[in-house]
A and B are shown apart, each in its own frame.
Chain A
């Protein structure tokens, strides 16, 4: 149990730092690299809380398969909106997520695209392993029944699936961060500021 908790906290911290870095880059804020690792405590605590709720939802609906895309949208939004929760609050993070659901079509499309990407990554990774095994046994002439048994087992497929998730996840998180950033820019008028900056830059050049 403690192992699961520690692994989960470590994975969550990694995600939080990645999202923080994406956000800072999008705002063109340059910080010392060490400052990027320092996720504010209230934001990290809120993220842990929302991610646990979405985790419970995910595993509650995992066996139904149908609700998974919707829960994935919530997982992505809870991650992308955590930097906007500057205070510890149990209700406000969900208001933030709810307000971000205004363009549900885009979010579902993003989920669909990344589901296909996950499938492709899984197939490619699996093929790479099978190809390597074939290469070793055919070219080098080694008989490897033990390895073949390992490479065709369900545990191995789960491992490859986890690897595919790790390959696709940063891109999926970044897509969610960009979505939230664009949505916030529209609400705050920052899109206008960026547009004016672009016009200025065009005139200057």
Chain B
């Protein structure tokens, strides 16, 4: 289906090969060997590697500590704001 549109175009990685798929991330035309389908969507080798690395990277301990500090601070501010807004609304009505 998609292949029909790439008859006169060539793979971005292998200029001697005919293009057979369009990478849906970088929009490069790639050959059958360079294209991989993931969840039904075509990706080139580089974009697939980027996606795989992104899903493999885990959060560091420092990120979790930072997150906990920010969330605690936000919760403190939010709970006080809720009470303050509630008191002001009660005065209005």
Contacts and interface: CB of A to CB of B under 8 A. Distances in A.
> Do the two chains bind?
yes
Nearest to B68: A45
A156 interface: no
Contacts of B78: 52, 55-56, 59
Contacts of B85: 59, 62-63
A87 B59 contact: yes
Interface in A23-79: 27, 42, 45, 48-49, 52-53, 55-56, 59-60, 62-63
A158 B89 CA distance: 11
B23 to A, nearest CB: 9
Could you say which interface size class chain A belongs to? Answer: 20 to 34
B64 A188 contact: no
Given A59-B78, A88-B64, A189-B24, A48 B71 contact: yes
A196 interface: yes
Interface string A151-194: 00010000000000000000000000000000000001110010
Q: Is the interface of B mostly helix, strand, loop or mixed?
A: helix
Given A42-B59, A52-B74, A190 B41 contact: yes
A116 to B, nearest CB: 22
A61 to B, nearest CB: 10
Given A56-B77, A154-B93, A90 B24 contact: no
Nearest to A56: B78
Contacts of A53: 74
A59 B81 contact: yes
A86 interface: yes
A203 B3 CA distance: 19
Interface stretch (B12-20, B28-36, B50-58): B50-58
Query: Which of under 10, 10 to 19, 20 to 34, or 35 or more describes the interface residues of B?
Result: 20 to 34
Given A63-B88, A189-B24, A90 B70 contact: yes
A154 B90 CA distance: 9
B63 A88 contact: yes
Contacts of B4: none
Contact of B79 (A4, A60, A87, A188): A4
A60 B57 CA distance: 35
Contacts of B1: 196
A168 B45 CA distance: 44
A59 B87 CA distance: 12
Nearest to A60: B81
A139 interface: no
A146 interface: no
Given A42-B59, A45-B71, 8 more contacts: A4-B79, A5-B79, A49-B67, A53-B74, A55-B74, A56-B74, A63-B85, A193-B40
